[in-house]
Structure 1
Amino acid sequence: MNKIIILITGLLASFCFGFAARSIIVKPINSNTINMKKVTGIGGIFFKCKDPKAVNEWYKTHLGFDTSPYGTSFEWRDMEDSTKKGLTQWNPFAETTKYFEPSTKEFMINYRVENLEALVEQLKHEGVTIVDKIEDSEYGKFVHIMDIEGNKIELWEPK
């Protein structure tokens, strides 16, 4: 009987010690990171083509796109607050563009995000390749990252 009590006491002590050690050693997860929105939507679709001007004209003629030399912008309203407008950009690039580098792919997707600085810090911590520094422009903040297959991704926090 004493052996059983000693065994149970030992197991209970081991469990409690393990739980206490885990609480001390394991870094707690930042609750802001868990709740942080990452991507909130698609900000744009960019792709390479032989003749961007001809592609713009084709989409204008056959699909009714309101194109400019920079493609077209699709305007939409926020689902939660219909007073907020958003844009999704569609843009053909010359096949010789360097803008997609270091990716060798024919396309690049722009994702809308909230709090770009915090997201970049989190991505760095997770080992994601950050291609450049955050750029602040009249359209908002931009940065480029690479996914695991070598696709360059543009992250955009609109103003």
Structure 2
Amino acid sequence: MKRVTGIGGVFFKCKDPKKMTAWYQKHLGLDTNPYGATFEWYETEDRKKKAQTQWTPFSETTEYFEPSSKDFMINYRVENLEALIEELKTEGVTIVDTIETYDYGKFIHILDAEGNKVELWEPVR
């Protein structure tokens, strides 16, 4: 079974997310949106499966990364989230919450070996 298939997003805390987003837009040319920036790419060489990676600055006071105390969180793209979670449970991985489903995919959070919160995302195909 495939597990991680790519990076779905990079999230980090900062003092002023709007200012940080504007700085990256101005100085590094990121095509920003209200959520940060979305990088589109193709999963296959035949360019039939479009994918994306999200870059998002969060407020330094966000509780979204809890229970981790780190200033970052990585989102990994996965296939078959339900089966993967069952496998991770048998391996003793800490599951933080339950699967949530949105129109753009399914999400769940786990903790890695050092207590960093990790977001797993199964995109809608």
- Separation in 1 of the partners of 2:42 and 2:95? 30
2:75 corresponding residue in structure 1 = 110
1:79 CA drift (Å):
2.6
2:116 corresponding residue in structure 1 = 151
Q: Which runs of 5+ in 1 are unaligned?
A: 1-35
Q: TM-score, normalised by structure 1?
A: 0.76
- Separation in 2 of the partners of 1:157 and 1:81? 21
Provide runs of 4+ in structure 1 moved above 4 Å.
none
SS in 2 for 1:119: helix
1:139 CA drift (Å):
1.1
Q: Which runs of 5+ in 2 are unaligned?
A: none
SS in 2 for 1:156: strand
The 5 Å alignment of 1:42-53 reads 42-53=7-18
Name whichever structure is richer in helix by fraction: 1
1:75 corresponding residue in structure 2 = 40
1:75 CA drift (Å):
0.2
Q: TM-score, normalised by structure 2?
A: 0.97
Deviates most, 76-85 or 116-125 = 76-85
The structure having more radius of gyration, on CA atoms, is 1
- Separation in 1 of the partners of 2:100 and 2:119? 11
2:2 corresponding residue in structure 1 = 37
- Separation in 2 of the partners of 1:91 and 1:84? 23
RCO greater where, 1 or 2, for CA within 8 Å and sep 6 or more?
A: 2
- Separation in 1 of the partners of 2:80 and 2:9? 18
- Separation in 2 of the partners of 1:102 and 1:112? 21
- Separation in 1 of the partners of 2:34 and 2:47? 29
1:89 corresponding residue in structure 2 = 54
2:86 corresponding residue in structure 1 = 121
The 5 Å alignment of 1:49-64 reads 49-64=14-29
Deviates most, 79-88 or 136-145 = 79-88
- Separation in 2 of the partners of 1:124 and 1:91? 29
- Separation in 2 of the partners of 1:110 and 1:73? 13
Name whichever structure is richer in strand by fraction: 2
- Separation in 2 of the partners of 1:136 and 1:86? 18
